[in-house]
């Protein structure tokens, strides 16, 4: 009679005792990985219990007061299963292009998009509930900032965010997109400025002090130049920080501004500023700092005598913004250089050419909306110490709406995304617009018109999203 308590139905050898007790943790991990890899679709195996876990979470949080906790639980579950799927993907590296590896990658993408969508939903739901509580507490009273000359720009912006739901929600979408970009590129875990230096080292044989490869490449280039009598035009001939910009080597300029733009896209303003300062772009580093809303702590009544902290931004922010806008419009600047200055000054047309994905385009458009709202508030809500200069030619005066943003986005991007990306974008757009009935109808229409079989992970996600919308947002609308 076979013993099914051991692999293969064999009885343990005498003297070995309990086999599972003798196995080390690493051995158990290897054994589990081997069992998973033996299946045709290991990603489906590790996500088999996600359906039951979502249903348990839904049944445990049925009241409207628990809606934010429920959404956070959904995002946490996606994170947990995503970690398991990523382990499977790493185990299948040697089997790339096989059906199992392709399914694992697809599963990883689906869970990533779903996790990000739940985080967006949670952020907007939390804001919606907090706004309701705030209005009940304050009644018809409106939050204003003292219009005296001592009021800082940052305080005015904070009051705007607390008072105006449109600006605040647009800012929440921008923050969400930046966090997603930072998580995707790894900026949230380590300093990614080295990426630029590694690219420059590979392209031109130059990197910061301490990199051994830089001296090897430079020596090799010098020896090649002596032997052959000519050098590549893509190499700089000096090793100081300002050499690439001074010698106007295009590849350095391109890589540098692309890296700065990626930092801005991920909300890493301080790292972008440090990268610019470290590489001799002092004016760019100053622009990143001076385009922030001004806040001088020494003007606040709460700061005691002798207590010194550095001021943020500048009282001449309008001049810096105008100069930055002009740089973003200059045809002499490269694509990413215009995009960097466009992101700092709210120039949407300068940012869009560098935005290649749906998420990048949405970020640029929402960021421009926030910049226009902030700029108008700063010019109308405060008595200035001096008269502000005129806004640059072409600066938008219309705030627009979320509907306008997504309509323009659809016209610009179209349906270039894949099928799973299409439904993720539909849900994300519906969550931002806050129209539950319309979103449920769009989900239903998308499902019934699918020719190919829709993944079960996607069906589960859409079902739980529809349940959430019906139980929460529809109550507010009706």
Give the integer Cα–Cα distance in Å for 237 and 222: 9
- Comparing CA positions, the residue from 364, 478, 426 lying closest to residue 113 is 426
Q: What is the pLDDT of residue 9?
A: 40
The answer as to whether 402 is a domain residue is yes
pLDDT in tens, 129-185: 888 776 666 655 555 545 444 567 788 888 889 989 999 999 999 999 999 999 987
Please state the separation of Cα 376 from the chain's center in Å: 26
pLDDT < 70 stretches in the chain? 1-39, 134-151, 186-251, 294-315, 382-386, 414-421, 473-478
Give the integer Cα–Cα distance in Å for 345 and 371: 8
The answer as to whether 43 is a domain residue is no
Contact, 298 vs 312, CB < 8 A? no
Label residue 330 exposed, middle or buried (CB < 10 Å: 0-12, 13-18, 19+).
exposed
The answer as to whether 17 is a domain residue is no
The answer as to whether 462 is a domain residue is no
- Comparing CA positions, the residue from 421, 466, 356 lying closest to residue 109 is 421
Q: What is the pLDDT of residue 62?
A: 84
Q: What is the pLDDT of residue 130?
A: 85
Q: Is the dihedral of CA 421, 424, 428, 429 positive or negative?
A: positive
Contact, 53 vs 77, CB < 8 A? yes
> Which two structure tokens, joined as six digits, stand for 220?
């090799």
Place of tokens 């697809």: 106
Give the integer Cα–Cα distance in Å for 72 and 468: 13
Q: What is the pLDDT of residue 226?
A: 57
- Comparing CA positions, the residue from 475, 425, 473 lying closest to residue 128 is 473
Q: What is the pLDDT of residue 301?
A: 45
Give the integer Cα–Cα distance in Å for 271 and 279: 12
Coil, strand, or helix at residue 312? strand
C-alpha distances out from residue 96 to 42, 84, 103, 261, Å = 14, 18, 11, 32
CATH number of the domain bearing residue 353: 1.10.3450
Q: What is the pLDDT of residue 147?
A: 47
pLDDT in tens, 446-467: 988 887 788 999 999 999 999 9
Q: What is the pLDDT of residue 384?
A: 60
* 295 backbone dihedrals φ, ψ, rounded to 5°: -150, 100
The answer as to whether 109 is a domain residue is no
- Comparing CA positions, the residue from 454, 408, 464 lying closest to residue 56 is 464
Contact, 225 vs 231, CB < 8 A? yes
* 312 backbone dihedrals φ, ψ, rounded to 5°: -110, 135
Contact, 57 vs 77, CB < 8 A? yes
Q: What is the pLDDT of residue 385?
A: 62
Please state the separation of Cα 342 from the chain's center in Å: 18
DSSP 321-350: HHHHHHHHH-TTS-HHHHHHHHHHHT-HHH
The answer as to whether 475 is a domain residue is no
Q: What is the pLDDT of residue 471?
A: 78
Phi-psi label, residue 401: left if phi above 0, alpha if psi -120 to 50, beta otherwise? beta
Please state the separation of Cα 218 from the chain's center in Å: 36
The answer as to whether 35 is a domain residue is no
Provide the number of structural domains found in the chain.
1
Contact, 181 vs 240, CB < 8 A? no
* 71 backbone dihedrals φ, ψ, rounded to 5°: -65, -40
Give the integer Cα–Cα distance in Å for 152 and 146: 10
Structural domain boundaries enclosing 268: 194-211+255-413
Place of tokens 């120039």: 347
Q: Is the dihedral of CA 13, 19, 24, 30 positive or negative?
A: positive
The answer as to whether 234 is a domain residue is no
């Amino acid at each position: 009679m076979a013993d099914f308590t051991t692999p293969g139905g064999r009885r343990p050898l005498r003297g070995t005792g309990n086999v599972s007790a003798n196995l080390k943790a690493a051995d158990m991990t290897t054994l589990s990985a081997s069992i998973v890899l033996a299946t045709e679709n290991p990603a489906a195996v590790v996500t088999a219990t996600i359906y039951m876990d979502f249903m348990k979470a839904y049944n445990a949080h049925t009241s409207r007061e628990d809606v934010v906790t429920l959404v956070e639980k959904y995002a946490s579950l996606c994170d947990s299963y995503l970690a398991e799927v990523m382990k499977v993907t790493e185990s299948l590296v040697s089997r790339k292009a096989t059906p199992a590896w392709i399914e694992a990658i697809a599963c990883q993408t689906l869970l990533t998009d779903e996790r990000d969508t739940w985080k967006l939903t949670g952020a907007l739901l939390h804001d919606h509930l907090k706004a309701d509580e705030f209005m009940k507490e304050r009644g018809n009273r409106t939050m204003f900032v003292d219009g005296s000359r001592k009021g800082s720009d940052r305080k005015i912006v904070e009051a705007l965010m607390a008072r105006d739901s449109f600006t605040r929600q647009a800012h929440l979408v921008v923050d969400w997109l930046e966090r997603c970009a930072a998580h995707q590129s790894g900026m949230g875990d380590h300093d990614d400025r080295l990426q630029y230096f590694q690219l420059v080292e590979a392209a031109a044989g130059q990197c910061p002090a301490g990199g051994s490869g830089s001296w090897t490449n430079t020596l090799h280039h010098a020896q090649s130049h002596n032997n052959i009598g000519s050098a590549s035009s893509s190499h700089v001939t000096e090793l100081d920080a300002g050499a690439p910009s001074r010698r106007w080597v295009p590849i350095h300029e391109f890589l540098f501004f692309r890296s700065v733009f990626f930092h801005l896209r991920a909300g890493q303003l301080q790292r972008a500023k440090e990268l610019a300062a470290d590489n001799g772009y002092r004016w760019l580093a100053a622009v990143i700092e001076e385009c922030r809303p001004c806040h001088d702590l020494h003007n606040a009544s709460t700061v005691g005598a002798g207590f010194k902290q550095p001021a943020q931004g500048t009282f001449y922010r309008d001049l810096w913004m105008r100069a930055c806008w002009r740089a973003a419009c200059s045809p002499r600047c490269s694509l990413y250089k215009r995009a960097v200055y466009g992101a700092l000054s709210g120039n949407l047309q300068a940012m869009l050419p560098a935005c290649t994905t749906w998420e990048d385009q949405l970020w640029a458009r929402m960021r421009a909306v926030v910049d226009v709202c902030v700029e108008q508030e700063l010019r109308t809500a405060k008595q200035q110490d001096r008269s502000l200069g005129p806004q640059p030619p072409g600066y938008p005066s219309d705030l627009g709406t979320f509907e306008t943003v997504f309509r323009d986005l659809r016209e610009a991007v179209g349906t270039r995304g894949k099928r799973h990306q299409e439904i993720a974008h539909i849900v994300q757009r519906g969550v931002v617009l806050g129209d539950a009935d319309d979103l449920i109808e769009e989900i239903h229409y998308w499902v019934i018109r699918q020719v190919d079989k829709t993944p079960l992970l996607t069906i589960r996600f859409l079902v739980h999203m529809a349940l959430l919308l019906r139980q929460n947002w529809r109550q507010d609308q009706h």
